């Protein structure tokens, strides 16, 4: 685990190395993913059968391609009441938050008499990828599927790998709650290719969202343009800005909440107190020993974790903005949290105050937990209803409006050497 102090003479260089460090998978997956996509496009269902048997260890024809609605309803009914109620609470809060995101249409007439506006509409079909390898996440089902349904998507398709044919019942229950229309037992780059291009069995979609491993992320990147995507997501990350008034074991748990995701995840603490930094580091080691995910979290913490001591927490904020992390906790008194938040320019989602752990946002707060990673928060945002919608502008002119603005259009068209453009307006001016 990296320890840095802003007073160190080599701090700038070492922090630059931290910012620019690459945590995505080192394997060159691009060529293989390209081959998978080409194979699925050419051979359709046959390719999916072969890939599923090779990577997930079961026969789709023998065990079934789809998970039907009755299975999902049965899974929901069979959950322990506490878990069922937790899923329902999460779904209710996620749905309410995303309903408030719905954009409004515009329709007005300007001073020249030109009617202008825009109308929002949902895509016809959306695909959601839900991981099923290292772990299965029902929360990801809710976070991806509910915004799509709120946006008005009529056909919502979920793909999820089922290794050895095993289906996670909580994932099925979440799909039932979210209103997923189709569930296919497919994973990896081949599932993304099937959603984008379609096969004999699976109709294509317009947008694909959801997290996945390096192969899934690369497939989404390559297929962007054939379909829309939410983002190319990398390993999870958290930055915590905390003073010494916090309990060290709370902050340690916050850091490990992301480290346990994957060995390539990253957890970083900024603090203005060296003694507190030591206490958090010690608490992390204690908690690692008791975590069932300790092996993964230890590898992540040792390879990618960092504790950085600064003179003042305000000094940390320019550094935080350079990291542009997926999750940012400001674990300070509420008033100070607001002051620090005012300095935040780049972060996927921000958690304000000592009583707001990032894990709340993963499940039941309401905002989406599908967020930009790998410093992409500099230019992108978390998943929202807008990822499942598009805006269509419209224009309407009468004779007076054409007379008011048409001559300028003619002039510009002629300046660009496009006489047919100019003539299409000029004829109406006559």
Percent of the chain with pLDDT over 90: 92
**Which active-site residues does the annotation give?**
326-327
Task: State the chain's mean pLDDT as an integer.
Answer: 95
Rounded Cα gap, residues 96 and 15, in angstroms = 40
Asked if residue 25 has pLDDT above 60, the reply is no
Average pLDDT over residues 74-82: 97
Structural domains of the chain ordered from first start = 2-23+234-365 (3.40.50.1980), 30-109+120-229 (3.40.50.1980), 397-429 (no CATH)
Contacts of 382 (CB under 8 A, 6+ apart): 348, 349, 367, 368, 369, 370, 371, 372
pLDDT band at 217 (very low <50, low <70, confident <90, very high): very high
- If 0-12 CB within 10 Å is exposed, 13-18 middle and 19+ buried, where does residue 13 land? exposed
pLDDT band at 232 (very low <50, low <70, confident <90, very high): confident
The pLDDT assigned to 167 comes to: 86
Contact 392, 377 (CB under 8 A): no
Contacts of 426 (CB under 8 A, 6+ apart): 406, 410
Contact 350, 259 (CB under 8 A): no
Query: In b/e form, how buried is each residue of 194-223, taking b as 16+ CB within 10 angstroms?
Result: bbbbebeebebbbbbbbbbbbbbbbbbebb
The pairing of strands 389-396 and 115-122 is antiparallel
Contact 327, 285 (CB under 8 A): no
Rounded Cα gap, residues 182 and 201, in angstroms = 12
Residue 324 gets which letter from DSSP? T
Which residue has better confidence, 107 or 164?
107
Match 């007073």 to its residue by tokens. Answer: 7
Contact 141, 131 (CB under 8 A): no
pLDDT band at 234 (very low <50, low <70, confident <90, very high): confident
Rounded Cα gap, residues 270 and 317, in angstroms = 9
pLDDT band at 233 (very low <50, low <70, confident <90, very high): confident
Tokens of 205: 């979609």
Asked if residue 370 has pLDDT above 90, the reply is yes
Q: What is the pLDDT of residues 372-429, one digit of tens each?
A: 999 999 999 999 999 999 999 999 999 999 999 999 999 999 999 999 999 999 999 9
Query: What is the reported pTM?
Result: 0.93
Residue 185 has a CB neighbour count (10 Å cut-off) of 22
- If 0-12 CB within 10 Å is exposed, 13-18 middle and 19+ buried, where does residue 162 land? buried
Q: Which CA distances in Å does 423 have to 63, 157, 394?
A: 64, 47, 22
pLDDT band at 26 (very low <50, low <70, confident <90, very high): low
E strands, 123-257, are: 125-129, 155-159, 182-184, 207-209, 228-229, 237-242
The pLDDT assigned to 132 comes to: 80
Residue 364 has a CB neighbour count (10 Å cut-off) of 17
Q: Which CA distances in Å does 246 have to 33, 179, 250?
A: 45, 41, 7
pLDDT band at 202 (very low <50, low <70, confident <90, very high): very high
Asked if residue 179 has pLDDT above 70, the reply is yes
Residue 227 gets which letter from DSSP? B
Asked if residue 346 has pLDDT above 80, the reply is yes
pLDDT band at 275 (very low <50, low <70, confident <90, very high): very high
The pLDDT assigned to 29 comes to: 86
Rounded Cα gap, residues 210 and 143, in angstroms = 9
Average pLDDT over residues 319-342: 97
Query: In b/e form, how buried is each residue of 81-113, taking b as 16+ CB within 10 angstroms?
Result: eeebebbeebbebbbebbeeeeeeeeeeeeeeb
The pLDDT assigned to 412 comes to: 98
Out of 21-25, 67-71, 189-193, pick the least confident. 21-25
pLDDT band at 23 (very low <50, low <70, confident <90, very high): low
Asked if residue 134 has pLDDT above 90, the reply is no
The pLDDT assigned to 327 comes to: 98
Q: DSSP string of 134-171?
A: S---HHHHHHHHHHHHHHT-SEEEEE---GGG---HHH
pLDDT band at 212 (very low <50, low <70, confident <90, very high): confident
């Amino acid at each position: 685990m990296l320890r840095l102090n802003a007073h160190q003479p080599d701090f700038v260089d070492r922090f630059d190395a931290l910012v620019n460090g690459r945590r995505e998978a080192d394997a060159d997956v691009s060529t293989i993913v390209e081959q998978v996509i080409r194979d699925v496009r050419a051979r359709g269902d046959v390719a999916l059968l072969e890939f599923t048997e090779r990577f997930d260890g079961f026969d789709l024809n023998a065990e079934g391609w789809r998970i039907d609605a009755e299975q999902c309803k049965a899974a929901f009914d069979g959950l322990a009441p506490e878990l069922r109620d937790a899923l329902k609470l999460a779904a209710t809060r996620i749905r309410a938050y995303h309903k408030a995101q719905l954009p409004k249409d515009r329709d007005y007439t300007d001073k020249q008499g030109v009617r202008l506006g825009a109308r929002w509409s949902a895509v016809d079909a959306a695909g959601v990828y839900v991981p099923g390898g290292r772990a299965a996440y029902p929360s990801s089902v809710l976070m991806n599927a509910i915004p799509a349904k709120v946006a008005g998507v009529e056909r919502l398709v979920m793909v999820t790998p089922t290794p050895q044919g095993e289906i996670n019942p909580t994932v099925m229950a979440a799909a039932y709650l979210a209103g997923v229309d189709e569930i296919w037992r497919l994973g990896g780059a081949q599932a993304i290719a099937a959603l984008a291009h379609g096969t004999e069995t699976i109709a294509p979609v317009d947008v694909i969202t959801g997290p996945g491993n390096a192969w899934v992320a690369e497939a989404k990147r390559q297929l962007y343009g054939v379909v829309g995507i939410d983002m190319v997501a990398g390993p999870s990350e958290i930055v915590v800005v905390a003073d010494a008034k916090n309990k060290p074991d709370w902050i340690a748990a916050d850091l490990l909440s992301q480290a346990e995701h994957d060995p390539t995840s990253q957890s970083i603490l900024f603090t203005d107190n060296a003694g507190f930094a030591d206490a958090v580091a010690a608490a992390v080691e204690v908690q690692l020993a008791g975590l069932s995910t300790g092996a993964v979290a230890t590898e992540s913490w040792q390879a990618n974790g960092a504790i950085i001591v600064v003179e003042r927490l305000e000094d940390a904020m320019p550094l935080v903005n350079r990291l542009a992390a997926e999750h940012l906790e400001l674990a300070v008194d509420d008033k100070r949290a607001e002051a620090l938040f005012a300095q935040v320019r780049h972060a996927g989602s921000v958690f304000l105050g000592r009583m707001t752990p990032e894990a709340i946002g993963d499940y039941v707060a309401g905002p989406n937990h599908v967020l930009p990673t790998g410093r992409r928060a500099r230019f992108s945002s978390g998943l929202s209803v807008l990822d499942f919608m598009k805006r269509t502008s419209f224009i309407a002119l009468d004779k007076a409006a054409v007379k008011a603005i048409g001559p300028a259009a003619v002039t510009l068209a002629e300046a660009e050497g496009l006489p047919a453009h100019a003539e299409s307006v000029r004829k109406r001016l006559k």
